[in-house]
């Protein structure tokens, strides 16, 4: 696949790519529609405080992690067209409630529920994988993610103007948020009718059980349990932060911690229920896949996307205070991290396609991230600003490219489990953001950059040890196992029985 192919919109797969990245763009636009309007909210709602907005910011990511896991399971069962459409329509409801909420409870609960929209990313990853062949998947996934992810930057650029110029008045921010929610709901309905789950005739390969990821060995099952615990356990950090801010009592926090433990136990039980019978029966050789590769890619997305979310939130203040810049100038420089996404993430996938070795590309990008953030750790006010900006852009290229390379590998690991694997890896990106942002409250920016560099280097080591080159990574079709064919045959019989 060539870069120029993205302009051939009459090709069904290219049309599907554009329809899907636009859907992702809109969901991220809605997800990040609060921060750009924060000052307008404070002026309009006299009982709101800056601490309240910080609490809303925490709530805005709270349910994204479990939502990505749940949506990943739903994908493998219902397909991305239905899931994406339903997600956009349903999430427009809490967005509208937030827009017109008049109490703390309304704003808090609606923002908490709306955080689930962050799961939209993994839906498009699955849809794109259904439309493109393994040899082209890197660039297609990178283009989808790079341009769709820009929705957050577009919200920051356009929403203040829409609120102040288009609507105006004290309630301008409300109508700006409501407008984005209505657009998302309308596009969700359009998406349902505008696209199919892959080309006509595509077999949607589903897992035997959608409630937990299938594995290939007893050892892999133990590893899955160990990698599952942090996905929900990290919510304990959010509960701790909310309690420390004074918005949650000790009793309320204890209840939340108990619920988190219960959910972790439930997930472990589901893993055992799904995998113990399969492992006792024996997994055919042609159906086995290396879970170590999944674990390695969890770590890469923790270290690259987690770092991006964390750094973007602190970079404006870092430049403003270190080089005595205006808030506007510092914001524009920090925005370079998001703008680079438009080119760097598709490029990461394209390089992964062209190099003929996806593992080598992944290793190169992760090593580049560790070097880039180590250099950022050295930056201080004595450095020329242009050099600091250059290093920031350099680091961003590796961060975004690594994100593209990660999802250039995932669809080829195990085709029928793509939704669940994508959901898990995607959730680890949010885990990384929560962990890094929590660490940032205790360290200086210089120390923070070194910590992120260390995280990327650890991920690089894990990839060196665990990541395997996917067998069908550059094939014309994804590898189909005997179990895939058996599931397909059972589905045919069910449909035939239902018709008769």
Burial class (CB in 10 A: 0-12, 13-18, 19+), 279: middle
Looking at residue 116, its pLDDT comes to 92
Looking at residue 225, its pLDDT comes to 96
CA–chain centroid gap for 120, Å, is 8
Q: Where do the H-state alpha helices sit in 169-290?
A: 172-194, 218-233, 235-244, 250-281
Structure tokens at 454: 């260390």
Positions in the chain short of pLDDT 70: 1-2, 201-206, 208, 210, 327-328, 472-476, 500
- Of 35, 43, 130, give the one whose Cα is nearest residue 83: 130
Signed CA dihedral, 164, 165, 171, 177: sign only:
negative
| Predicted TM-score of the model (pTM) | 0.85
* Contact indicator for 425, 489 with CB cutoff of 8 Å: no
pLDDT digits (tens, 9 = 90+) for 449-490: 999 999 999 999 999 999 998 876 666 677 777 887 787 777
Structure tokens at 260: 């988190």
């Amino acid at each position: 696949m060539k870069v120029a192919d993205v302009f051939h919109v009459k090709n069904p797969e290219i049309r599907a790519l554009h329809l899907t990245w636009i859907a992702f763009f809109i969901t991220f636009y809605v997800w990040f529609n609060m921060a750009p309007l924060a000052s307008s909210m404070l002026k309009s709602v006299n009982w709101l405080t800056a601490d309240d907005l910080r609490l809303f910011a925490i709530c805005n990511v709270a349910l994204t992690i479990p939502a990505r896991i749940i949506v990943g399971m739903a994908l493998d069962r219902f397909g991305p067209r239905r899931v994406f459409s339903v997600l956009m329509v349903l999430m427009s409801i809490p967005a509208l409630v937030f827009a017109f909420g008049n109490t703390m409870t309304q704003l808090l609960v609606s923002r908490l529920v709306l955080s689930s929209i962050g799961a939209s990313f993994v839906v498009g990853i699955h849809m794109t994988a259904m439309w493109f062949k393994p040899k082209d998947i890197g660039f297609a996934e990178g283009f989808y993610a790079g341009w769709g992810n820009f929705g957050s930057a577009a919200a920051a650029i356009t929403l203040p103007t829409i609120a102040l110029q288009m609507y105006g008045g004290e309630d301008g921010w409300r109508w700006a948020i409501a407008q984005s929610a209505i657009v998302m709901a309308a596009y969700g309905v359009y998406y349902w009718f505008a696209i199919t789950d892959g080309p006509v005739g595509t077999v949607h390969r589903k897992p035997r059980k959608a409630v937990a990821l299938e594995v290939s060995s007893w050892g892999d099952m133990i590893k899955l349990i160990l990698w599952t615990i942090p996905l929900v356990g990290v919510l304990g950090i959010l509960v701790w932060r909310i309690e420390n801010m004074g918005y949650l009592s000790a009793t309320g926090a204890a209840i939340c911690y108990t619920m988190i433990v219960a959910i972790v136990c439930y997930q472990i039980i589901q893993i055992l229920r799904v995998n113990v019978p399969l492992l006792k029966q024996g997994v055919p050789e042609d159906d086995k896949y290396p879970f170590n590769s999944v674990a390695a890619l969890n770590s890469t997305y923790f270290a690259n996307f987690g770092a991006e979310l964390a750094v973007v939130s602190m970079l404006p203040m870092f430049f403003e205070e270190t080089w005595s810049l205006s808030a506007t100038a510092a914001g524009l420089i920090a925005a370079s991290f998001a703008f680079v996404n438009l080119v760097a993430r598709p490029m990461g996938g394209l390089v992964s396609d062209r190099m003929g070795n996806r593992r080598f590309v992944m290793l190169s990008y992760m090593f580049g991230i560790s070097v880039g953030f180590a250099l950022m750790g050295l930056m201080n006010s004595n450095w020329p600003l242009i050099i600091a900006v250059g290093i920031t852009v350099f680091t961003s290229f590796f961060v975004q490219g690594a994100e593209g390379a990660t999802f250039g590998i995932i669809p080829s690991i195990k085709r029928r489990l793509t939704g669940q694997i994508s959901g898990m890896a995607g959730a680890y990106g949010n885990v990384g953001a929560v962990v890094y942002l929590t660490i940032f409250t205790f360290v200086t920016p210089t120390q923070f950059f070194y910590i992120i560099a260390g995280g990327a280097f650890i991920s690089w080591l894990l990839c060196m040890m665990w990541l395997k080159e996917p067998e069908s990574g550059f094939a014309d079709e994804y590898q189909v196992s005997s179990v895939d064919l058996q599931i397909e045959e059972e589905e045919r019989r069910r449909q035939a029985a239902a018709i008769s």
